[in-house]
Structure 1
Amino acid sequence: MRQFDIAVVGAGLAGSLAALALAESGRSVALIAPPARAGDGRTTALMDQSIAFLKTLGLWDDIAPHAAALETMQILDGTSRLLRAPPVAFRAGEVGLEAFGYNIPNAPFLTVLDARIAAHQGIARLENGVTAATAFEAGVELVLDTGERVTAGLVVGADGRKSKIRDSAGIDVKTWSYPQAALVLNFTHERPHGNVSTEFHTESGPFTQVPLPGRRSSLVWVLPPAEAARLRDLSTSDLGQAVEARMQSMLGKVSVEGGAQSFPLSGMTAARFGKGRFVLVGEAAHAFPPIGAQGLNLSLRDIMALREALSSEPATVGERFDRKRQADVRSRTLSVDLLNRSLLSDFLPVQFLRSAGLHLLSALGPLRGIVMREGIEPLGSLKALRDMLRERVARKQA
């Protein structure tokens, strides 16, 4: 029976990054997941804190050529409602950054991770599914779909919304759905995007264009499911015309690359994020609509917190990790849920509050700064305020 310090179950972006981060701490790691992975045409926007984490793992130089900077993020009201909000632009330079983060296509991102994992002597890649996971006093026994058994002192569930590890740990989950689907595609355009991401708020949800290298962008278009399916099945020419019309030709003529994908929108949160020798990261722990570039950024904070929690005994890592992650995960989930539901609501007071909030962000630079700092890093605005006060005290004492 093979033994490891840590077993990571699931080899998507979150699981692969967790395996690399944990192996860098000197522990023996098994990364367990089947080899087959469907082609992923989606992209992932990572904020400054997450990019810094990739740099600590030595990954950024290989990923950077595939990424596009997010220097400005603007929100435009694309509704026809009575109460409409003004345009709001968030510029990275306002908070002292060259870019908020970078948009990265998932396919080359995963290719880089697979190559690094294959070359890492501290990671054993087991291309199997897990059929059972049972905790005992000294560790956890995992049964693979081949019948092989392996043991680990700690098991990290990164195996998605239908997590086998979460079920094996006896952790409950809360799920909910939205009357929406996300249409996802990449496209080329005539005019340069200038590293600007534009999010139109519409009655059915956000329409979000995010830069890619060159005159290319990715798109997440949230729609009623039937409309998302209709657009997905259009010819690339007709779909390109629909995208261009929705964008009001901001980027000129649009040409859709390949086929579009659509996904029903739903949310999920585990009742707890760790228990004994089990911890949950990524979509095994939390999932919500692709709004505000929070998904993988939240998962990377899971991994950062897990590395800190490993200083305790393996049998109690789960409880320590759970305490570390509760506030961040719950607050981000609630924020995304409220924003999404506010776009769907026809209730005038809700529309008023959303419009008034965007008016304030448009008019008040300091408030925009607070929001930008929080979007990049939890408690980022408080850290910025602390650093500013320390700098002023230092100047007075000099």
Structure 2
Amino acid sequence: MSAVTRSAATIVAALVVLSLVTAAPVTAQTADETASVTIGQINVEPANPTTDSRTVLTPTITNSETATGSAKLTEVSIRSGSVLNTADNLGRLGAGDSTEVPLAHTFDTPGERRITVSARGTNPDGSVFVVQKSVYLTVDDRSTDVDISARAQSVNGSTGVAATLTQYGTVPVESGEIQLRSQGETVDRAPLSNVSGSQSQTVTFDGDTIPAGELTVRAQYTLTDEYQSRSTATTLQYNPQRAADMALTAIETTARGTTYTISGDASNLGGADANAVLIDVAAAEGLSANGGYFVGTVETSEFATFDLTVTADSPVETVPVRVNYSADGEQFSETVTVDVSDTNAGLTVDRDPRPQSGGSPLGGLPVTALAVGVLVLVGIGIVAYRWRRS
């Protein structure tokens, strides 16, 4: 083959290769692809950071849903004057994609902080983008002042103990438990967690498992960023007592025909004040108390007198008396049966002040008896007069 022929063959081969390359699919991003990266919400945990305690800032980095290309996220950092923390090589964000980047830092001193979050990366065309967003923090001195208190309580007529743990300091109580102890033994326990600074958490214990007497209420807990547990305790003298316990005492009954008067004391034997105390006849056919007798409030360990008048259609031997009241925001109703049989047999127990038939206005004494009494008094007066004259 001549030199000219070989040169021509070489040119033809080159043209064929060029044609194949031009026909192959394009894998590189084109110039019209765009990305739009923004920094959304920046979460701060804990919400009230303190010195010498780990604070985590988590920004959300998003590529717009309207983007036509992906963005390469190369770096996200937080800074306050100087760089506090950085994360690198975070991958690509397609259209509508988001990623959360947690970055931690421990502050040495308290005070106001302006933290700037920066996200750096490359656009589809290879150009570099940098977006920033700031968040403001107040860093408090790390302190702890945990207190526990306890009280006996009554819920729905059942007694128990309510224990409250309060963190007056700035460091959150991460987890722990409150224990009830009697004579050195744990009789019940309840978990607690996530008690922020200046916040409280209350747990309750059912009185069925709690013995009467002195109780030790102890909290064992772990603070945020600490591994060793702490404890604090208080004592409580526990004497189970119903919050609501009204009783009718010193009952006396009188009757006039089929009208019965029931008198006595409404005594509060419970552990809370009884409010809106109303003494009334319970629903029964043929009995009426015309709305009952309103007592009002009876403080704990106190009593109030009442005087209930009940009208019956016919003589009865017992009257159901109902006591309605409220205690600790709950409504209660108790019914007692009062025996009135001793006041019956159709007799009138109360004296009628009006004179009976054939009597006098002076208590119903007969006229003859009154006259004899007057003559006797006159005779005694005459004898005494003669004796003094002799």
Pairwise TM-score range, normalised by the shorter structure: under 0.3
The structure with the larger Rg is: 2
Compare relative contact order (CA 8 Å, sep 6+) and give the higher one, 1 or 2: 1
Q: Which of the pair is proportionally richer in strand?
A: 2
Q: Which of the pair is proportionally richer in helix?
A: 1
